[in-house]
Structure 1
Amino acid sequence: MRAVSDGATGLKGDARRQELLRVRGRSVAWLAPLVLLIGIVLIDFRTSSDFRILSWIVLVPGIAAAICGVWGTAMYAVLAPATYVGADAVLPHEFQAGLPDLVLAAIGGVLATLACAIRVRGERRMLHMQDVAATIRRTVLRPLPPGWGGLEHAAVYLAADSEARVGGDFYDIQIGLHGTRVIVGDVQGKGLGAVEAAAALLGTFRETGYHEPDLATVAVRLEERLQRHILMRAALGREDDDRFATAVLISFPEADPAVVDTVVLGHDPPLVVAPDGIRSLPPGAHGLPLGMGELDPAAGPPPALRVLLRPGETLLLTTDGVTEARNSAGEFYPLAADVAQAVAADPGIARPRRLVAFVRERTLRHCGGHLADDTTVFAVRREGGGKGVENVGNGDGSGRLQA
């Protein structure tokens, strides 16, 4: 989303702001103040001396300051008083407004130009912050290539803070020496601390997921990494003692395409969605959330649960932003029941792209668009049940949507 600023400043903030004020690629932001200026003069000429509105010309630079660039506003700051002088001079002497209103128009133009400069600077700073947030998002949630690791996948990330655009939810797919691994997780809390923890966990997953033959070992490495991250944060004076993360690890072994291995670490287990219905994974040993391993040091890593996955079956993974979304009556979103009903009505919803889009839409509808937490919806299956990869995106190539 880019456009060209109407002023010589060429600020990117102006460019984005004026996207809606363009016709056939050309800025028309200058048109509204001009119409107002002409309208004030014409109305003033057609009314009696008891109704003089020529002094309203002071509004023209103010309108320009809201929608034009600095140079455009400065032009109207000069044009408005000049028009006032010309229009006032045409009138008979007894009807002229005189010097006081001229001074008011001149001062209004100067103040409007200063206000416009401040607004443009704020827009430029906001644009820079959005670019930084987008860079962080691409680093933490890197775009996944089509068919990556032989998987058909789709993902939607909805930030509870629509301005931040990034939070503690994370997901990734990593090709490895022992198959393709998937992770979906949620770091407790919000803000940059949660983003840092998510980045640390993803970095570890991308290395251990590639090298380690045992999925449980990957879980152990993630636990160790988060513990080290917490210690480092504490040493820097940033209290993160209570930081933890939930996660689901999935492995698609190359040797046996009919099965998947899963390790659930304090997270909601995946839901298996097929054209003929849905099912939950069999109950297995769930591990503690990452960062809480010291609560039970003797427990060791949770064993990986191996389950059959038929062709066409999709694994649906969500963070608690979905399952804990509440409606106006305080009721949680019934994910499993809603998906089961949708698949029964239309088996094609089992495809990753359609499934993710459906869950996203229904979650937002259930909570009225007011998300209380960052929300991730991730669907994945082996290629062959549909065509290609499907990252549901917002037009910026990131493969994610912003609330």
Structure 2
Amino acid sequence: MAQKRSEVRRRSGAGPGPDTGIEAASRSRIGNGALVCGLALLTVLVVFLDVRTGNDLRVVPLLVVVPALASVYCSLRQTIWVAVWITTVVVGFRVGADGTFWDFVFGIGFAVLACALGVAACAARIRHATEMARLRSAAVTLQRQILRPLPVVTDHVFAHGLYEPIEEDRFVGGDIYEVVESPYGTRVIIGDVQGKGLAAIGAGFAAIAAFREAAIREPTLTGVVEALEDAVVRHNVFSAQTGETERFVTALVLGFDGSGRVEAVNCGHLPPRLLHDGRTSAVTLHRTYVPLGLAGLSREARTTESFDFPRGATLLVVTDGVTEARDAAGDFYPLDERIGSWAGHGPRELLDALHVDLEDFSGGVRRDDVAALALRRATADGSGRPGAADEAALRVAAV
């Protein structure tokens, strides 16, 4: 059960707990053994040079720069230990050196001050890193609370998902998705908010909240999109009043009514991919409209178009965190080439293969959120329902 719960957390973007980043912020990048060996070797080398140069050039006082270097890579405890060691070595050699009383006082004072500054710099670095980790954790937790855990089964589709938010210093991105069952069928949205950070999450929440309400209330898919447009515009007005940057949202809105066709309104998003009978193809959407929040810049009213969605087919929709992932050479991820070999996979297996291949391609280095939905028709005979493994995942996700 614990293994299944962990697997479901990974698939739904749950990830590690919020304390993980905070603990990592104060963790040393250098092991204690390596630090002791390196410090001992450096001390012996500097002492040897000091003995060889004699009173003409004292080298030992140069050791006071070591705590400053340690403050960048070591924990606070390690930096304090380094500072105490360096202070002891410098004071010991200063006591045995020739010079006036004031030479001794100023030499010792400078060594103590330099070591103390190194410790203070380390404490400040760890405090700043901890604050950043807390903010990242809060942002990621907030974003995960906004987005629905997947998989989801409705009367019309089975939706499995892959979601991994980026957790770099610029904070999380603004990928969104939702699946809502309504009196008019199942409505699905996947989108990407311009920019990153808490402001992007706020815009994403405005779009998601509007979609959840409009998907149930509006009888037409264009009505849903109009409600989303109004919500993003209102959010931008509020953002402008509070000094935040206005943002737009690229989105693909889909409607499933139990027939063999899917309605779609594409607001500047990537087109879906259809996997069926061992073949893959990009769904051709003839009209791509401006992103949500920018309708005032276009005179063209958004309308729906439809495409076939056969039984047993899987519809894959992704954000640009997938298509714009790069390898070490800077090349973009070739999604259409890679998914061809997974055309026979079910939704869950498809996303598993995509996740593994994407990690291998990018070397684990991500520059944006990764979000993907794999959708399959749910039919009256149950052929579109999830398998036993997926049903187990659903039960664990509900715990």
- How far off is 1:324 after superposition? 6.0
Q: Could you say if the C-alpha distance between residues 189 and 130 of structure 1 is closer, same or farther in structure 2, counting changes exceeding 3 Å?
A: closer
Q: Could you say if the C-alpha distance between residues 333 and 82 of structure 1 is closer, same or farther in structure 2, counting changes exceeding 3 Å?
A: closer
Letter in 2 for 1:308: F
> Is 1:314 aligned with 2:319?
no
Q: Could you say if the C-alpha distance between residues 257 and 3 of structure 1 is closer, same or farther in structure 2, counting changes exceeding 3 Å?
A: closer
Corresponding residue number in structure 2 for 1:155: 162
Deviating more after overlay: 327-336 vs 256-265: 327-336
CA-to-partner distance for each residue in 1:87-110, whole Å, 9 max, x for gaps?
Answer: 777x8x89xxx9476555333322
> Is 1:268 aligned with 2:270?
yes
CA distance in 2, matches of 1:48, 1:283: 76
8 Å CA contact 1:152–1:389 kept in 2: the answer is no
8 Å CA contact 1:147–1:389 kept in 2: the answer is no
Q: How high is the sequence identity, in percent, across the aligned residues?
A: 28
Corresponding residue number in structure 2 for 1:400: none
Corresponding residue number in structure 1 for 2:351: 353
Corresponding residue number in structure 2 for 1:250: 254
Please list, as runs of the form range in 1=range in 2, the aligned pairs for 1:4-403 lying within 5 A after superposition: 13=22, 15-18=24-27, 29=32, 31-39=33-41, 49-50=51-52, 54-55=60-61, 57-58=63-64, 61-85=67-91, 99=104, 102-140=108-146, 142-149=147-154, 151-157=158-164, 159=166, 162-188=168-194, 193-236=199-242, 240=246, 243-253=247-257, 256=258, 259-274=261-276, 276-281=278-283, 283=285, 287-294=289-296, 301-303=302-304, 305=306, 307-311=308-312, 313-320=313-320, 322-323=322-323, 335-340=335-340, 342-343=341-342, 347-348=344-345, 351-357=349-355, 360-361=358-359, 364=362, 376-382=371-377, 384=385, 387-388=389-390
CA distance in 2, matches of 1:190, 1:274: 35
Letter in 2 for 1:379: A
Superposition RMSD on alpha carbons, in Å? 4.6
Letter in 1 for 2:140: A
- How far off is 1:32 after superposition? 4.5
- How far off is 1:301 after superposition? 4.9
CA-to-partner distance for each residue in 1:253-291, whole Å, 9 max, x for gaps?
Answer: 4xx375543332333321112351113436566555323
Q: What SS does the corresponding residue of 2:303 show, helix, strand or coil? A: coil
Q: Could you say if the C-alpha distance between residues 224 and 147 of structure 1 is closer, same or farther in structure 2, counting changes exceeding 3 Å?
A: closer
Corresponding residue number in structure 2 for 1:8: none
CA distance in 2, matches of 1:331, 1:42: 48
* Structure 2, unpaired ranges of 5+: 1-15, 378-383
- How far off is 1:230 after superposition? 3.3
Q: Could you say if the C-alpha distance between residues 328 and 362 of structure 1 is closer, same or farther in structure 2, counting changes exceeding 3 Å?
A: closer
CA distance in 1, matches of 2:224, 2:267: 12
- More helix by percentage: 2
8 Å CA contact 1:154–1:389 kept in 2: the answer is no
- How far off is 1:126 after superposition? 1.9
CA distance in 2, matches of 1:33, 1:330: 36
8 Å CA contact 1:152–1:352 kept in 2: the answer is no
8 Å CA contact 2:159–2:373 kept in 1: the answer is no
Aligned length: 361
- How far off is 1:189 after superposition? 5.1
CA-to-partner distance for each residue in 1:310-359, whole Å, 9 max, x for gaps?
Answer: 22x2211133455567899998765434433x347xx4487332353267
Q: Could you say if the C-alpha distance between residues 177 and 321 of structure 1 is closer, same or farther in structure 2, counting changes exceeding 3 Å?
A: same
Q: Could you say if the C-alpha distance between residues 106 and 287 of structure 1 is closer, same or farther in structure 2, counting changes exceeding 3 Å?
A: closer
Q: What SS does the corresponding residue of 1:302 show, helix, strand or coil? A: coil
Q: What SS does the corresponding residue of 1:388 show, helix, strand or coil? A: helix
Corresponding residue number in structure 1 for 2:12: none
Structure 1 length as normaliser, TM-score?
Answer: 0.68
Corresponding residue number in structure 2 for 1:401: none
CA distance in 1, matches of 2:64, 2:298: 72
Q: Could you say if the C-alpha distance between residues 202 and 67 of structure 1 is closer, same or farther in structure 2, counting changes exceeding 3 Å?
A: same
Q: Could you say if the C-alpha distance between residues 261 and 86 of structure 1 is closer, same or farther in structure 2, counting changes exceeding 3 Å?
A: same
CA-to-partner distance for each residue in 1:28-69, whole Å, 9 max, x for gaps?
Answer: 54x455434544565677789315765465355345433444
8 Å CA contact 2:203–2:235 kept in 1: the answer is yes
CA distance in 1, matches of 2:142, 2:271: 28
CA distance in 2, matches of 1:130, 1:357: 23
* Structure 1, unpaired ranges of 5+: 6-11, 22-27, 392-396, 398-403
8 Å CA contact 2:71–2:118 kept in 1: the answer is yes
- How far off is 1:202 after superposition? 0.9
Structure 2 length as normaliser, TM-score?
Answer: 0.69
